[in-house]
Amino acid sequence: MNQIYFAGYDGVHSKDFKYDIPEGFPCFLLVVTTTPARFRVQGEIREYPAHTAVLYPPNHGIWYAAGGEVYGNHWLRFASDESFVTNFPRQAVPFSVSDPEYCRSLFQLLTWEASQLTAASRRFQNTGLLIPDEEIPSKQAAPDSRLSDLTVSQLLRILFNKLLSDTLNVPCVGHDRELLTLRRQIAAAPQLPWSIADMAEQLHISAGYLQLLYKQQFHISCMDDVIRFRLLRAQDLLIYTTESIASIAEQCGYNNTEHFCRQFRKSAGMTPGQFRRQASR
């Protein structure tokens, strides 16, 4: 389900323009600039060139402002439960748009469809057909409204597919140091209850964006890296201690010894006991 609340394109504001909503909106806000702009990212105000996009998730702080003599953008405030929106990998972090004219055309079409939906709603109010849902027979549903809903969903999907391709081409500049620090922490204490949500919160980015950056930087997913470091720690304990398999599993962050043994065998090609015996020869 998708619902557009406000949409517009080619908006222009003066050089003192600033948009500051600390609590955000209870819906998504998508902004694509047509001029240089400033965005607050992780508490720091940064300059970005024209044709920068940012998707703010519901209830996320919003701050952006003019970065030159004027400020221009296209914008969309909307609700959606579509996975291509809710799982979008780069949220509240600006990125470059590779084809600004194409995006402008999509915003123009979405603005038109949103106005058509609003007009349809007003027509039903004027004719007395806007009554409680439970009292409306299914045959009385507005066909033009349903068609517009479908068109909006299709346009949003096209727009987000395009934006997704742009995020995949963005290098992880600006997060290298944080990612390296995170990886060192994992390597030093892989037994901790690491989770994608906690790691993303530590870097102040979305979970999806963390997974994208981590894979780009280290060529392995963050949770697979956690498992890899746990099993490396297990190998050291198997070689240099006489601890039981169950104790080693617990020290490496596993609550279930059988699960530990399965992952160890999948990685090393042998059971922990076989690995210990082979290492002691």
Q: pLDDT value at position 41? A: 87
Q: Please determine, for residue 135, whether its predicted confidence score (pLDDT) is greater than 80.
A: no
What is the reported pLDDT for 262?
Answer: 96
Residues 148 and 254 grouped into a single domain: no
Of residues 167 and 149, which shows the higher confidence score? 167
Report pLDDT for 140: 38
Same domain, 23 and 135: yes
Query: Are residue 143 and residue 191 in the same domain, yes or no?
Result: no
Domain of residue 114 covers 2-168
Listed residues 117, 151, 168: the one ending a domain:
168
**Contact between residue 149 and residue 117 where contact means Cβ atoms under 8 Å apart:** yes
pTM above 0.85, yes or no: no
Average pLDDT over residues 167-189: 77
Per the CB < 8 A criterion, the answer to whether 110 and 158 are in contact is no
Range name among 14-28, 107-121, 227-241 with the lowest pLDDT average? 107-121
Q: What's residue 97's pLDDT?
A: 92
Q: 3-state DSSP helix/strand/coil percent for the chain, to nearest 5?
A: 50, 20, 30
Mark whether 117 and 15 lie in a shared domain: yes
* pLDDT at residue 139 is higher than 50: no
pLDDT score recorded for residue 148 = 62
CATH number at residue 222: 1.10.10.60
Query: Which of 142, 168, 194 is the C-terminal boundary of a domain?
Result: 168
Q: Name every residue whose Cβ is closer than 8 Å to that of residue 263 and which is 6 or more positions away in sequence.
A: 227, 231, 254
Q: For residue 92, what pLDDT is reported?
A: 92
Question: pLDDT tens, 183-204?
Answer: 989 998 999 999 999 999 888 8
pLDDT at 117: 58
Indicate whether 162 and 181 sit together in one domain: no
Q: What is the DSSP string of 96-115?
A: E-S-HHHHHHHHHHHHHHHH
Same domain? For 150 and 192 the reply is no
User: Does position 147 have pLDDT exceeding 60, yes or no?
Assistant: no
- Binned at pLDDT 50, 70 and 90, residue 170 comes out as low
Q: What is the end-to-end Cα distance of the chain in Å, rounded?
A: 63
pLDDT of residue 120: 46
pLDDT (tens digit, 9 = 90+) per residue, 210-237?
Answer: 888 888 788 889 999 999 999 999 999 9
Instruction: Assess whether pLDDT exceeds 70 at residue 72.
Output: yes
Q: Residue 133: give its domain's CATH number.
A: 2.60.120.280
Of 139, 168, 197, which marks where a domain is finished? 168
Task: Count up the domains in the chain and report the number.
Answer: 2
Across all residues in the chain, what is the average pLDDT?
85
By CB atoms closer than 10 A (0-12, 13-18, 19+), residue 194 is buried
Is the pLDDT at 133 greater than 90, yes or no?
Answer: no
Q: Flag whether pLDDT at 103 surpasses 70.
A: yes
Please indicate, yes or no, whether residues 157 and 191 belong to a single structural domain of this protein: no
In the predicted structure, residue 115 carries a pLDDT above the cut 70: yes
Quick one: pLDDT band at residue 207, thresholds 50, 70, 90? confident
pLDDT at 169: 63
